[in-house]
Amino acid sequence: MSNFLQINGRRIHYVETGPKNAPAVVLLHGQSGFWYDWSEVAPGLAKNYRVVAIDHPGFGDSDWDPSYKTYLVEGFAKEMEEVTKQLSLDRFVLVGHSFGGRIGLAYACSHPKQLRAVVLADSSPDVDPAGSLEARKYLASIPAEFETFEQAMEFFHKHYPNFTSNSLRERLLNYLTQLPSGSYRVKRDPAIGAKYSLILQGKAQAPEPDWGSLRNLTCPVLLLRGTNSELVTIGIENQMRQVNPNMETIEITNAGHLVATEQPEQVLKALLNYLRRLPA
């Protein structure tokens, strides 16, 4: 069910499914997505868990932040404090894809007693430099508006070649909003893409990797790594294991960075098996 919270004068959108009294799982998306990234995983989890998928400020159906202060890991993690308070989430598992995983690590380190575990869905404190460059180019290249829906289909198909036309169309029907002019806009604050343009131009600095958040983590941590990921490569996984030797890894085969959208059945199976093994 789609809902909104009021936090700092802004609406934060979330989708909740599953029994209210069941153990909770919170799903966080990355910089290129929104709650819908989990749409094929959440129903399977909701059979036995209370599932909350959040749109970060500036993304999806959540309000934009005119100050831009929440558009950093620390800002999103701080916002999570109010989200969990309003939703009465006392003990839960936090699952974060990409940038959402970094938010999860930051939140877990500042709220160690609240987290049962952190699951990093192709996420790490740092990523492969070549893959990172390509990701920034993509995020910076998303047009402010598309004249037609088919123009948007053509653009995103180049970046999501593994999606069928039907699955991409369904995603974009949720990811785009039609403006009064008839054109379409991605549900994301343009300032987020502009930041990546500035980084590529050398006019802004990318955030420093926070390896301390993984090193200082006291709860269990699981990495779901796409075997074809250009961001969380084998080399990055090895770095993560050196920093936190207790980290578990499950490989999601035939998946790139978008593990939950490319291989939702594998991700769901991995999560269910992991959740069953966690202590209460």
Domain edges within the chain: 2-128+208-277
Q: Which has the closest alpha carbon to 219: 140, 124, 120, 130?
A: 120
Beta-carbon neighbour count of residue 2 at 10 Å?
11
CATH architecture of 2-128+208-277: 3-Layer(aba) Sandwich (3.40)
User: Residue 269 corresponds to which tokens in the numbers above?
Assistant: 């199976």
- For residues 22 and 1, what is the distance between their CA atoms, to the nearest angstrom? 16
Give 35's contacts (C-beta < 8 A, 6+ positions apart). 13, 14, 15, 27, 29, 53, 54, 55, 60
Give yes or no for a contact between 223 and 120, defined as CB atoms under 8 angstroms apart. yes
- For residues 192 and 32, what is the distance between their CA atoms, to the nearest angstrom? 10
Kindly report whether the global pTM for this prediction surpasses the value 0.85. yes
Partners of 26 in the β-ladder: 52, 94
Please report, in tens digits, the pLDDT of each residue of the chain (280 residues total): 899 999 989 999 999 999 999 999 999 999 989 999 999 999 999 999 999 999 999 999 999 998 878 888 999 999 999 999 999 999 999 999 999 999 999 999 999 999 999 999 999 999 999 999 999 999 899 998 999 999 999 999 988 887 889 999 999 999 999 999 999 999 999 988 888 888 899 988 888 899 999 999 999 999 999 999 999 999 999 999 999 999 999 999 999 999 999 999 999 999 999 999 998 7
Q: Which has the closest alpha carbon to 73: 246, 214, 244?
A: 214
User: Residue 224 corresponds to which tokens in the numbers above?
Assistant: 């779901």
